[in-house]
Amino acid sequence: MLLSRPNRSTPCHPLPTAASGARRNNASRCWSAVTLLATVFAATTASAAPPTIGDATASSADFTVAAVRPPDSYTPLMGSFLMFGADALDWTSYSFWRSLAGNAPRDQALQSMYAGYATVAGFPAFLLNEEIIAKFWVNLFGTAPDSAQSLFWTSRLNTYDVTSPTTSKGRVMADLIDFTMTGTAAALVRVRNRLSAAQMIKYETDTATEQGSTTDRNVVLNASRARLQPITDALSTRDAAVATLPRLRWVIEQNGIAPKATFDAASGELVVNGTEMVALAGANNDIDPTKLTLYGEGTAYPLTSSGVEITSATQFRITLNQADRQGLLTRLNRDGTSSKGNVSYLLAATPGWNTAYGAAQPQAALTGTRISVSNVALLNVDKSDATAYDAATDGVLLLRYLLGQRGAALIASARGTGTTLRDATAIETYLAGALPVFDVDGDGQTLPHTDGLMILRRLLNPGAATTDVAAMAAITAGAKRGSRSDVEIVNLIDALTP
């Protein structure tokens, strides 16, 4: 399905012109392929295995090692990267080069690129060899080639080996790419830094959702282009460009990546799975939760809970404090992996979250993973189906529990209907775990005549607007302790009934 460029393969002149094609002969190959990835990424090798959370690798080197299979992934990535230069990166081109990843060897793919594979390769068929070299140069380096460079590479394209017509021009293009992968000139280093960052971004964004959705693909491409352009020959600029990749992951909603963290709103337990986590001498200090931020509906939420020990090298578990649990009520506002507003739940970490590695570890900021959330309907105490929240059942059950009733006395005539109703024991376990978030006035205690009563009143009058000052005051009248306002308390109660 390769398209031909007859005007370039007809022997004629040493240099192509608009009026005549290129000359070709059997000139031998004088450029050998180099081990590209080894060259490109030699400077980014990690000295020790860093800890990771979820699927995201914590080290920039790990990104390239884990995500990119040389050499197949190299060519489409290179092809797409070329579009970051003078041309806008369009989705068709990006998709085209990526689709070649598993289908064509590098020379063959680049031959397709040279041949002007329809219009998607960025090198349409009407371009002459000299123009191809110039465009390649401008895209890659931001400047046109000087006359010696132009002459050298154009003549190679004009005269190269044609014994393998499906790969010979691709061989020259491969040589040209190899040329950019060696040497220490700033322009070459800059290309390598951008390519390295592009690979990390590609890894982070390469999902079925992104491929299938016009909206998502535009987000990805626009984000990638903006990230790559500021990168120079300084390695720090590359690292800065990828430092917020977890945020990008969150933006595009990577459905292809399984959640590696869970949060149970009823128990308040956050369980995070990762790799290579290390213990630190001393109690409750292996993990620093204040380095963790959760994303969901609305603004991001940095945790305030106390430190914990890891449970193994691959997992830690935190039972979040009351403030964190209440802070997450409106953010993680439905079960599953995304909020009511379809914002993916995400956990991100800044350096030092696994304290044994220390805050100096630069890679940890790259971590991030999706969270699966359960039991957000905290006031559906009996787990009824049709009517989830009801003062006569859920409100009464909570109040009775807070008053100390257990067993048959707890549930007598106070449960609704449903296929998976909780029995007395299940309700006791459930409420015991959820108790901290029911402290809606924030005085540090969950009491029947304060929190329980206010929750019951709100369940009895769920339709009252929070702007109705009198109605809000009626809910908290004589029952409020602590310093929270009436509206704050009612908002918290409402967050328990998402």
Binding site for Ca ion (CB under 5 A): 280, 282, 285-286, 309, 380, 382, 384, 394, 439, 441, 443, 445, 451
**How far is the C-alpha of 172 from the C-alpha of 131, rounded, in Å?**
15
Task: Give the residue closest to Ca ion by C-beta.
Answer: 384
| Shorter beta-carbon distance to Ca ion: residue 253 or 286 | 286
493 beta partners:
none
CA dist., res. 176 & res. 155, Å (int): 12
Q: How far is the CB of 34 from Ca ion (least distance, A)?
A: 46
Give one word for 352, left, alpha or beta, with left for phi > 0 and alpha for psi -120 to 50: left
In this structure, what token pair is assigned to residue 191?
């290309």
Nearer to Ca ion, 346 or 493 (CB): 493
Nearer to Ca ion, 221 or 308 (CB): 308
CB of 473 to Ca ion, least distance (A): 18
Residue 184 or residue 413: which is nearer to Ca ion going by CB?
A: 413
Closer by beta carbon to Ca ion, 106 or else 422: 422
Q: Nearest distance from residue 282's CB to Ca ion, in Å?
A: 5
For Cα atoms 86, 89, 94, give the angle at the middle one, nearest 5 degrees: 135
Q: How far is the CB of 335 from Ca ion (least distance, A)?
A: 15
Q: Which is nearer to Ca ion, 191 or 310 (CB)?
A: 310
Give the integer Cα–Cα distance in Å for 124 and 259.
Answer: 42
> Please, are residues 482 and 442 in contact by the beta-carbon 8 Å criterion?
yes
Closer residue to Ca ion in complex, CB, 248/310: 310
- The minimum distance between CB 396 and Ca ion, in angstroms, equals 10
Query: How would DSSP label each residue in 85-110?
Result: SSS---HHHHHHHHHTTTTS-HHHHH
Q: For the CB of residue 387, give the shortest distance to Ca ion in the complex, in Å.
A: 7
Q: For 395, which DSSP code?
A: I
* Half-sphere exposure of residue 464: CA atoms within 13 angstroms, side-chain side: 19
Q: Residue 9 or residue 355: which is nearer to Ca ion going by CB?
A: 355
Nearest approach, Cβ of residue 355 and Ca ion (Å): 8
- Least gap, CB of 391 to Ca ion (angstroms): 10
Bridge partners, residue 273, by sequence: 315
Q: At what angle do helices 129-141 and 74-82 cross, to 10 degrees?
A: 90
Provide the minimum distance between the beta carbon of 488 and Ca ion in the complex, in angstroms, as a whole number. 13
- 198 near 62, Cβ under 8 Å? no
Cβ atoms 155, 93 nearer than 8 A: no
| Cα(45)–Cα(32) distance, integer angstroms | 25
- Name the DSSP class of 424: H
- Residue 204 or 394: the one with the smaller Cβ distance to Ca ion is 394
Does residue 329 contact residue 496 with C-beta atoms inside 8 Å? yes
Question: Among 202, 184, 213, 188, which residue's Cα sits nearest to residue 75?
Answer: 202
Task: Retrieve residue 323's tokens.
Answer: 């403030």
Q: CB-wise, 82 or 453, nearer to Ca ion? A: 453
Q: How far is the CB of 480 from Ca ion (least distance, A)?
A: 9
Distance, CA of 280 to CA of 299 (rounded, Å): 32
